[in-house]
Amino acid sequence: MLDSSPHARPRDDFDRSHPHWQRFGLWTGLAAFVLVMILPTPDGLSPAAQRLAAATVLMAILWVSQAIPIAATALIPLAAYPLLGIQSAGDVSQSYVNANIFLFFGGFIIALGIEKWGLHRRIALHVVHVIGGSPPRIVLGFMMATAFLSMWISNTATTMLMLPIAIALLQTLGEVDAETAASENSRQQTQEALSRLGIGLMLGIAYGASCGGLATLVGTPTNVTFLGQWKQLFPQAPEVSMGEWLPVFLPLTGLMLLSSYLVLTWRLPRHLGDHDPGRSFFRNRLKALGKPSSGERAMLVVFITTALLWVFRKPLQFRSSETGESWTLLPGWGPWYESFLIERLHADATVASGAVHDATVAMTMSLLLFVLSVRTSTAQRETLIDWETVEHKMPWGIILLLGGGFAMASAFSDTGLSAWLGESLARSLAGTPLPVLVFCICLMMTFLTEFTSNVATVSTLLPILAGTAVTLGVDPRLLMIPATVTASCAFMLPIATPPNAIVFASGRVSMGQMIRHGLLLNLLGVIFVTAVTFWLLVPMMGITPETLPAWAVPPAAP
């Protein structure tokens, strides 16, 4: 059984590849690198772009095989790009330190503060207590609590936080059954029901964590990867903000949660024998927590304030793709602050126009945690977060992986490789209806990320999709955003996502059970993402689907 500690980790055989496979991947990657380097340069491709393609093939194989740590592979551009004459050391280094890196960094500091004071546990228990009761409702409660937390905290951390609560519940229900079962037959029936409930709970937590991350820009690293590559590939493009993303993909999260719930509970018994202690269990756990501490209350204020600042930074507008007219549902505070900088502080208009970013909010609120202090139970004052906690728990590897993806996107644009690959792909896709094209891209991404790191996959393919969109004459967002979102919709295999690996390591879910439930959800995810793209994304962002925007100019090869 998995350790019920919040810091439990999945078994080693699910987070590292076999040594023989790693050696094979290393030598295959080096051989592929040399092969691409010595091949004749194709027509229309610059020598620098060919060298970049060789480095990209090497990184892709190393990422798939995990021949060296994934984060270490992400550092290859820092060495390879200058040595191969692809980019200067200064240019490639800038990709590892940009606004979107600090959006993730600041968001994770706030998440660590929530974890430090135990606010996550109180939120989760309250949600499950309100909804829980019968087995299907218990599963629903865990899924909703996990999804909500995963919107703001990494899906890996959320799964680690929710899993011990689920295991404790299952153990408690088993103990109650042993004490109250009227007969051996009744005990067997209840144990079978508990086994099914365990499968539903484990998969519900994993799927809830993946679904919740779809709704916000900070919910999953793949979304942050898209943000960074978007600005690298199309510097003049309009910014994609939290206020635009949330209204589009929160409904998608709801659809995926509902689908996951129905798939997981359609054969789940409605009662656990003659007793139903689920709600009392959560009530007792909440009572054991006692009243919220001053640290919990302070973190709740910071958390809510950060979420509101993110959501309402830009005006919440809907635009018609046919008439171009727009109407504002809610005004944003970002434009007001930019005007304040220009009119009152006499700031330069160019500087003011880019002064406020979602990363600005994340870093401002995270820095406050180092300043604000509360009185603890020992009557001493303690800041809401300390650097030692950040230093030890910050996922530095993910930050490096994001930086590697941004560096790859920048080089794809500078060398013209994205345009060349996009033109090649576009020639094979010419004449394909746009909805069919989006559906096929989503289908490719969701099954590809069952076997590879979703961040690495997104980092590699987004520049190619950007070039394809430009060549086909369609808005790049119609291909890049659905591809990014479906990279998080991988539900079939333990290696597909960290939440899948963690719950599989609990020993309560078999590979066959995960595949049977996940296959249907993968297909539903592709359908839902395609539908949301044309029903919500297009009107929300004012996209004219088959018109190439003026800012989407094909990158010129040097």
Kindly report the length of the chain: 558
Record the pTM. Answer: 0.68
Structure tokens at 224: 């942050």
Residue 278's pLDDT is 54
CA-closest candidate to residue 147, choices 194, 229, 216, 193: 216
Structure tokens at 287: 């009572």
3-state secondary structure of 516: helix
Average pLDDT value for residue range 124-147: 81
Residue pointed to by tokens 């979602």: 358
Report whether 413 contacts 84 (CB < 8 A).
Answer: no
Average pLDDT value for residue range 529-558: 81
Kind of pairing between the strands at 373-375 and 381-383? antiparallel
Average pLDDT value for residue range 230-257: 89
As a three-state string, the secondary structure of 295-318 is HHHHHHHHHHHHHHHHHCCCCEEE
Q: How far apart are CA 36 and CA 54, in angstroms?
A: 5
* Sequence letter at residue 120: H
Report whether 252 contacts 529 (CB < 8 A).
Answer: yes
Average pLDDT value for residue range 151-173: 75
Residue 240's pLDDT is 86
pLDDT, tens digit, for every residue of 318-348?
554 444 455 666 777 888 888 888 888 888 8
Q: How far apart are CA 345 and CA 339, in angstroms?
A: 9
Residue pointed to by tokens 């609990």: 506
How confident is residue 316, by pLDDT bands cut at 50, 70 and 90?
Answer: low
How confident is residue 75, by pLDDT bands cut at 50, 70 and 90?
Answer: very high
Q: Burial of 344 by CB count in 10 Å (0-12 exposed, 13-18 middle, 19+ buried)?
A: exposed
Packed helices 99-116 and 396-415: angle between N→C axes, nearest 10 degrees? 160
User: Residue 438 pLDDT > 90, yes or no?
Assistant: yes
- Give the DSSP H/E element, type plus range, for residue 319: strand 316-319
- Give the DSSP H/E element, type plus range, for residue 383: strand 381-383
Of residues 174 and 366, more confidence is placed in 366
CA-closest candidate to residue 109, choices 308, 358, 366: 366
Average pLDDT value for residue range 19-45: 90
pLDDT, tens digit, for every residue of 344-384?
888 888 788 777 887 888 899 999 999 999 988 777 899 99
Q: What is residue 502's DSSP assignment? A: H
Residue pointed to by tokens 């209806």: 433
CA-closest candidate to residue 144, choices 204, 86, 93: 204
Structure tokens at 423: 């033109």
Residue pointed to by tokens 């050391």: 89
Residue 320's pLDDT is 46
Q: Which residues contact 546 (CB under 8 A, 6 or more apart)?
A: 434, 473, 474
- Residue 134 main-chain phi, psi, to 5 deg: -75, 160
Residue pointed to by tokens 């406050």: 368
CA-closest candidate to residue 61, choices 33, 39, 103, 96: 33
Q: What is residue 534's DSSP assignment? A: I
Report whether 166 contacts 229 (CB < 8 A).
Answer: no
Chain centre to alpha carbon of residue 350: 32
Report whether 157 contacts 498 (CB < 8 A).
Answer: no
Q: How far apart are CA 401 and CA 393, in angstroms?
A: 16
How confident is residue 176, by pLDDT bands cut at 50, 70 and 90?
Answer: low
Full DSSP string of 42-89: PTT--HHHHHHHHHHHHHHHHHHHTSS-HHHHTTHHHHHHHHTTSS-H
Structure tokens at 94: 């800038």
Q: Burial of 390 by CB count in 10 Å (0-12 exposed, 13-18 middle, 19+ buried)?
A: middle
Q: State whether the Cα torsion 463-469-472-473 is positive or negative.
A: negative
Q: How far apart are CA 437 and CA 431, in angstroms?
A: 10
Average the pLDDT over each of 16-20, 208-212, 514-518 and give the range with the smallest value.
16-20
Structure tokens at 211: 């679904």
* Sequence letter at residue 407: A
- Give the DSSP H/E element, type plus range, for residue 328: strand 326-330
Q: Which residues contact 63 (CB under 8 A, 6 or more apart)?
A: 70, 73, 452, 453, 456, 460
How confident is residue 555, by pLDDT bands cut at 50, 70 and 90?
Answer: very low
User: Residue 396 pLDDT > 90, yes or no?
Assistant: no
Average pLDDT value for residue range 115-131: 78
* Sequence letter at residue 412: F
Q: Burial of 286 by CB count in 10 Å (0-12 exposed, 13-18 middle, 19+ buried)?
A: middle
Q: What is residue 372's DSSP assignment? A: -
Of residues 10 and 144, more confidence is placed in 144
Strand partners, 373: 383
Residue 313's pLDDT is 79
Rounded to whole angstroms, what are the CA distances from 520 to 195, 436, 491, 508, 523?
Answer: 22, 19, 9, 20, 5
Average pLDDT value for residue range 521-540: 94
Of residues 13 and 257, more confidence is placed in 257
Residue pointed to by tokens 């491709």: 45
Strand partners, 487: none
pLDDT, tens digit, for every residue of 261-274?
999 998 888 776 65
Of residues 394 and 534, more confidence is placed in 534
User: Residue 3 pLDDT > 50, yes or no?
Assistant: no
Residue 524's pLDDT is 96
